Structure 1
């Protein structure tokens, strides 16, 4: 379990400089894609419950 925790911490630490170096438009595009994915997953969940 400690190896997994170390891995997750390292991913976060190395992810910050990448995130900070990206332009605002690329961040906006990523947000739009993630919102679309959430909408698709919600529709799938609703269809499964219906």
Structure 2
């Protein structure tokens, strides 16, 4: 399932305030009806859930098998 198929189920985009992310990036999500929420500066706990999820996926899935493509990764994460 691609992002364009799931965009109707997404409500928020949580991101940090990195200067590499431009206003045009936010505009794409805002146009799709997704609220962009920036985490406060120097608030490490604000990203704790995302960091924990990424770490869990890496330990449980990605570090234990060779992912051969985007479709394979989507299938592994779907399981």
Tell me the TM-score range normalised by the shorter chain.
0.3 to 0.5
Look at both structures and tell me which one has the larger radius of gyration over its CA atoms: 1
Higher helix share: 1
Q: TM-score, normalised by structure 2?
A: 0.29
Q: Greater strand percent: which structure? A: 2
